[in-house]
Structure formats: structure tokens, C-alpha cells
């Protein structure tokens, strides 16, 4: 079931098209993430859903209802912004109660509801506190409580954790996932941080800097099978090599200048995958096995010299220079189940990877 549908939506500011012919479906009751670089139009899209901006052309549906021209107060949509947007002179309780007070709910209902949502965001006991005395993370929890108390159909989250430090961010991401699980409200989470989007999303959309959506899918689909160079580079790290699609003994492979052949597995045939075409292959750094030994059983084998090693604790990153001058990044998990091979600067190493882990990308 879908919750929100954009139908060919266009929006300009000062004569510049920010959203151009956007068509997008956001599923109901799921955690949906919209990921894209700064300035690509993510906030504009949220503001169109909220009714803070209106389209130049096209339509927006909430469920089956056309809300294109509906004013903000008629939409059951709430937003949590990056800046906390709380009332600094009101207590936590009154900040959260605000929406219900405006609706003139009974005091007893307000109390019950405020305590319910404060519990959900782990702020019981904070109701009488002054907003100014709260930390950034606590303020954002108040903003969340205030947004969910009126039971919106859709909760919009515009980079809500961007101002918080990494550890707190990770903690709140988990809390958000748990909250969505309990509420089953449609969450639309906007971010420019790919790790955040991968963590929270049931489904995600990737926008490029022109404001076009390049791919929609589960985090796993997006990560494992990016459809473009932009997506492959923007979500996670990858190695991209250019070459020509050919066939050898009936097997598809990509001929790379000055390097040799990379065997590939064509998951789904696309119309641009024509023998002889120029294209790119993408191989994730963790899909490559690095060793000084000769090992059989891999479809692909490249050789190079170790140029750089970065120890990350959990993993180590190697930069390997191939003979054609191309640099390849490799991640190795630092498992200690058995003694690991020692690899050093300037060592000549073999890089192995399977053809199933090579993704073909259009030139």
C-alpha cells in the first residue's frame, strides 16, 4: 500500500527548477529514507508534502486523497526539523502538549497522551524541565514527542540528527527505528548521510544533485546492485574500472586496458549491455580478497603493489596500485579466528573476487 504519491511534480524558485517532473511513491507504514547530496531538493520535497510549499505543476496524493492544493492544517502530516524549533519559554510538558491544547482537548486526555509519548521517547521524568536545560539529543526527543502526539499519518524527519555527535546519532537512529516499529506511522527521513539512510530505511530513494531520483529499493538492493555510477559512489565505497564488454568462450567479461579481463555475471540483462560497448564495473572493497599467496577458486585475479595501509581496528584498508596505474581499495575484516597473513607496504599482492560481486554500470 502506498501512502504518498508524487505525480510529475515540478517546483521552481526564482526561475530555477528544483524539482523537475518528480514521480515517486512512498509506501505506507514503513520507514522510507530520501538520500541525496546537499542542495538537491530534499527539504523542498518534504515541504511540499507538509504543505509549507505548493507545486507549480503536478499532483501530490496522501493515500487516495489529492492534497495538491490542501492547506497545511488539513494534512495529517508533522515534521521534525534539524533545528529543534521548540518553544524555549515552555516546559517539556507544554511543548509536547501544544498540539492538543490547540485542539482544545480535555486536560486529562492531554496528560495521558503527553505521558504516553514522553515514555516512547524515553523522557519520562523530564516533563517539568526547561527546554534550555536539555541536551541536543533530549531536545530532539521532545521535538519527536511533539510531532507524534497528534497521531499524524506521516512523520517527516528532515536531517533530525545532523547536529548531534556520532555516538548519540547512532543511539537515536536505533530509537527511531523502534519508535516506527511501535507506531507503524509512515516515516519519511531525509538525509545526505548514506550510513544513516542504510541504517534506518525499509526502503530508500537516491537523488542526484540535479534532483532526479536515480534508484529506489531496499538498502540491500541499493548497496548490492546500484544502477548508476552516482549511486555506486554515493552509497558506500566502491572501485570503479572502465572497460569494454566482450565474450570469451561464451562467458561475459570486461576487457580492461593494460590490465586484462574481468569476468562478470549478468544478473539482469539491460538494453545497453551490448557486446563491444564501453562501460564501468564496480567492485565493493570488502568483496575483494587480498593475499600474497596464489589461491584458486576465484573468477577474477588481479595483481598489484600495496601503496597504503590504514588500520581501523575492526578492519584494515589497503590501497593497491595495479600495473595499469589504477588504484584499488580493499577492506579486510580483522578477524582473529586464525593467524592472519602479514601484508606490508610495497608487497606484491593478489586481489581475488568473484564475478557475482562485479556490478556493470552504464558509461
Ligand X SMILES: Nc1ncnc2c1ncn2[C@@H]1O[C@H](COP(=O)(O)OP(=O)(O)O)[C@@H](O)[C@H]1O
Which residues make up the interface to ligand X (CB under 6 A)? Answer: 13-14, 18, 36, 38-44
Radius of gyration of the chain (CA): 25
**Cβ 43 to ligand X, closest distance in Å?**
3
The item of ligand X, Mg ion, none sharing an interface with residue 155, based on CB under 5 to 8 Å by kind, is: none
Q: Which does 18 bind (CB under 5 to 8 A by kind): ligand X, Mg ion, none?
A: ligand X
Q: Which is nearer to Mg ion, 43 or 238 (CB)?
A: 43
Which range binds Mg ion by CB under 5 A, 38-46, 180-188, 224-232, 261-269? Answer: 38-46
Kindly tell me which of 43 and 300 has the beta carbon lying closer to Mg ion.
Answer: 43
Partner whose binding site includes residue 41, from Mg ion, ligand X, none (CB under 5 to 8 Å by kind): ligand X
Residue number with CB closer to ligand X (100 or 154): 154
Q: Is 239 in the site for Mg ion (CB under 5 A)?
A: no
88 binds, among ligand X, Mg ion, none (CB under 5 to 8 A by kind): none
Q: Give the span between the Cα atoms of 9 and 283, in whole angstroms.
A: 35
Alpha carbon distance 315, 156 (integer Å): 35
DSSP β-ladder status, 186-191 and 65-66: unpaired
- Residue among 44 and 78 whose Cβ is closer to Mg ion: 44
CA-closest candidate to residue 79, choices 217, 205, 216, 186: 186
Supply the minimum distance, in Å, between the C-beta of residue 146 and Mg ion.
Answer: 20
User: Pattern of binders to Mg ion over 269-308, x per CB under 5 A?
Assistant: ----------------------------------------
Shortest distance, position 38 Cβ to ligand X, whole Å = 4
Instruction: Tell me which residue has its CB nearest to Mg ion.
Output: 43
The smaller minimum CB distance to ligand X, of residues 43 and 186, is found at 43
Applying CB under 5 A, the site for Mg ion has a residue count of 1
Choose one: 21-29, 40-48, 172-180, 352-360; the region binding Mg ion (CB under 5 A). 40-48
**For residues 35 and 328, which CB has a smaller minimum distance to ligand X in the complex?**
35
d(CA 317, CA 323): 19
| CB nearer ligand X, residue 83 or residue 303 | 83
Toward ligand X, which CB reaches closer, 43 or 138?
A: 43
Determine if 238 is a binding residue for Mg ion (CB under 5 A).
no
Residue 42: CB minimum distance to Mg ion, A: 5
Q: By CB under 5 A, which span of 35-43, 50-58, 244-252, 258-266 interacts with Mg ion?
A: 35-43
Residue from 9, 11, 43, 189 in contact with Mg ion (CB under 5 A): 43
Q: Which residues bind Mg ion (CB under 5 A)?
A: 43
Amino acid at each position: 500500500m502506498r501512502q504518498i504519491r508524487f505525480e510529475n511534480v515540478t517546483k521552481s524558485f526564482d526561475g530555477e527548477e528544483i524539482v523537475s517532473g518528480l514521480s515517486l511513491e512512498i509506501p505506507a507504514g514503513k520507514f522510507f529514507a530520501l538520500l541525496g547530496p546537499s542542495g538537491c531538493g530534499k527539504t523542498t520535497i518534504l515541504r511540499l508534502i507538509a504543505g509549507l510549499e505548493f507545486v507549480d505543476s503536478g499532483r501530490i496524493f496522501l493515500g487516495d486523497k489529492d492534497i495538491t492544493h490542501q492547506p497545511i492544517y488539513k494534512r495529517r502530516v508533522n515534521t521534525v526539523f534539524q533545528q529543534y524549533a521548540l518553544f524555549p519559554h515552555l516546559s517539556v510538558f507544554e511543548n509536547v502538549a501544544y498540539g492538543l491544547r490547540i485542539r482544545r482537548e480535555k486536560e486529562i486526555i492531554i496528560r495521558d497522551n503527553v505521558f504516553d509519548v514522553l515514555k516512547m521517547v524515553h523522557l519520562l521524568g523530564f516533563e517539568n524541565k526547561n527546554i534550555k536545560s536539555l541536551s541536543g539529543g533530549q531536545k530532539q526527543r521532545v521535538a519527536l514527542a511533539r510531532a507524534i502526539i497528534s497521531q499524524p499519518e506521516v512523520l517527516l524527519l528532515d536531517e533530525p540528527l545532523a547536529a548531534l555527535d556520532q555516538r548519540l546519532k547512532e543511539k537515536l537512529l536505533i530509537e527511531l527505528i523502534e519508535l516506527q516499529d511501535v507506531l507503524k506511522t509512515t516515516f519519511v527521513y531525509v538525509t545526505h548521510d548514506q550510513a544513516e539512510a542504510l541504517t534506518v530505511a525499509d526502503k530508500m530513494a537516491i537523488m542526484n544533485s540535479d534532483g532526479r531520483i536515480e534508484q529506489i529499493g531496499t538498502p540491500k538492493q541499493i548497496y548490492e546492485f546500484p544502477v548508476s555510477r552516482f549511486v555506486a559512489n554515493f552509497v558506500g565505497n566502491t572501485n570503479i574500472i572502465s572497460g569494454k564488454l566482450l565474450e570469451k568462450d561464451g562467458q561475459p567479461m570486461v576487457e580492461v586496458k593494460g590490465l586484462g579481463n574481468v569476468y562478470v555475471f549478468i544478473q539482469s540483462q539491460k538494453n545497453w549491455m551490448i557486446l563491444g560497448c564501453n562501460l564501468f564495473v564496480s567492485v565493493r572493497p570488502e568483496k575483494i580478497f587480498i593475499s600474497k599467496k596464489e589461491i584458486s577458486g576465484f573468477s577474477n585475479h588481479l595483481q598489484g603493489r600495496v601503496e597504503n595501509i590504514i588500520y581501523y581496528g575492526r578492519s584494515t584498508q589497503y590501497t593497491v596500485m595495479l600495473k595499469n596505474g589504477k588504484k584499488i581499495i580493499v577492506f579486510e575484516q580483522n578477524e582473529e579466528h586464525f593467524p592472519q597473513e602479514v601484508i606490508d607496504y610495497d608487497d606484491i599482492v593478489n586481489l581475488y573476487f568473484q564475478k557475482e560481486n562485479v556490478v556493470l554500470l552504464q558509461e
